[in-house]
A = this chain, B = another copy of it.
Amino acid sequence: MKAVSYESKHKMAVGSHPKPELKSATDALLRVTTSGICGSDLHMYDGRTGLDKGTVVGHEIMGIIEEVGEGVSSIRPGDRVVLPFNIACGSCFNCHQGNTHACLTMNPESAGAAYGYAGMGPYQGGQAEYVLVPFADFNCLKLPGKEGDEWEDDFLLLSDVFPTGYHAAELANVKPGKTVAIFGAGPVGLLAAHSAMLKGASEVYVVDSIPERLQKAEEFGAIPVDVNDGDPVDQIFALRKKNRPIQESRRPGEEKMAGVDCVIDAVGYQARDDNAPSQEKPMQVLENCLRLVNPTGHVGIIGVYLAPDPGAKDKESKQGVFSFPVAKLFDKALTVGSGQAPVKRYNEYLRDLIVNGRAKPSKIVSHHISIDAAPEAYDKFDKRIDGYTKVLIRFGESKKSKASAA
């Protein structure tokens, strides 16, 4: 079968790989119909992880079940399903508590497993014609329809970025009426904005420097903040100050809540310096978050902080250790939530929001390609050029390569 594999820094290859076979009674074999390229794949592409050469990548996967083991009872051949990027056994201590992002049994090295990802266990990825699905009853989310196009893009995003954006909103404790700021308008940041709106936030600010992304944020009902226009934290303070009804309804002391209740870091350790965008400044976003958030507020860290990082510039950074404003965290009495999303905790609810017309995550999809175009797409996505925001690989009948109409 055809698949995309990691070869070396800045090199992904499309080649022939053996079609996977069932190994356990609880496995299923999935014929992939669509697979996404994730922003987190770029960490591997950039050589910022220790991924083995030749690994088939891709953890955003949907398709049609082709075969199931004899211990699989709730999923049948022909079922259209999307997979959480986390591979989970469903029965360990963490899984049954809903923490499938920290499954104890699927990754011999640490807690939490995924398809085709550095440090996440020995699993081939899904930017491939077929993928093996462990514990299929637990890991498959059943979808309506067969191979038609309806919601194909929306559903694919249930594998990672929609639940991940939603999890960010959970980590930041977004609730009806709260104010929210999201740093980063990549796919996760945008869908964090979509999620914050779905959860009833009263004001959602989205910070980025790329016009197309800021425009998408606005389409989701958020207020765009362009880093090119100056310090984004100061901009948000100023925007809130200009909000006349908010100012007029303030009682004495409420000017101390002039920031926002909930902040989300949707960028991670490859953040750019606000004042020198060509340079990385790993703590730029978290510093902004802690300046902007109100006392008793909440910080959600969904942007990835990875260690060891062979590409970092100093010894501490290589270990993921950074200068962090601990006194401000304490002084403001904040909470922080962090880490990968437990996709299965949310994906049924998010699917139902899609099919009832209340959520439309596919607004973020910028490109559909065939698998052969994957290496070029990695390159352009990595360089943030030609509007590459979210690229989906279509298999089978949908072998067209095109920029999306959306």
A interface residue numbers (CB < 8 A to B): 24-26, 69-71, 73-75, 89-99, 101-105, 110-112, 135, 137-138, 142-145, 151, 166, 171, 175-179, 195, 198-200, 202-203, 243-254, 256-257, 269, 282-283, 286, 295-296, 301, 304-307, 309, 316, 319-340, 344, 346, 348-353, 355-356, 358
Q: Contact check, B286 vs A350: say whether CB atoms are below 8 A apart.
A: no
A305 in complex: contacting residue of B248, B326, B339, CB < 8 Å: B326
Q: Contact check, B327 vs A307: say whether CB atoms are below 8 A apart.
A: yes
How far apart are the CA atoms of A97 and B326 in the complex, in Å?
Answer: 25
Q: Contact check, A321 vs B327: say whether CB atoms are below 8 A apart.
A: yes
How far apart are the CA atoms of A396 and B350 in the complex, in Å?
Answer: 49
Measured between beta carbons, the chain B residues less than 8 angstroms from A330 are 301, 304-306, 320, 338-339
Measured between beta carbons, the chain B residues less than 8 angstroms from A335 are 171, 335-338
Question: Can you list 27 pairs linking A and B with CB atoms under 8 Å apart?
Answer: A24-B70, A25-B69, A74-B91, A90-B96, A91-B137, A91-B138, A92-B253, A96-B96, A97-B98, A104-B256, A105-B253, A111-B253, A111-B257, A111-B295, A143-B249, A166-B176, A177-B352, A178-B349, A202-B349, A202-B353, A249-B355, A282-B326, A283-B326, A307-B328, A320-B327, A320-B328, A335-B335
How far apart are the CA atoms of A137 and B137 in the complex, in Å?
Answer: 13
Q: Contact check, B355 vs A256: say whether CB atoms are below 8 A apart.
A: no
How far apart are the CA atoms of A198 and B112 in the complex, in Å?
Answer: 32
What would 15 more interface pairs be, CB under 8 Å, given A24-B70, A335-B338?
Answer: A24-B71, A24-B73, A25-B70, A73-B89, A73-B252, A95-B96, A110-B256, A110-B295, A143-B249, A144-B248, A249-B351, A305-B331, A320-B328, A331-B339, A335-B336
Measured between beta carbons, the chain B residues less than 8 angstroms from A344 are 96
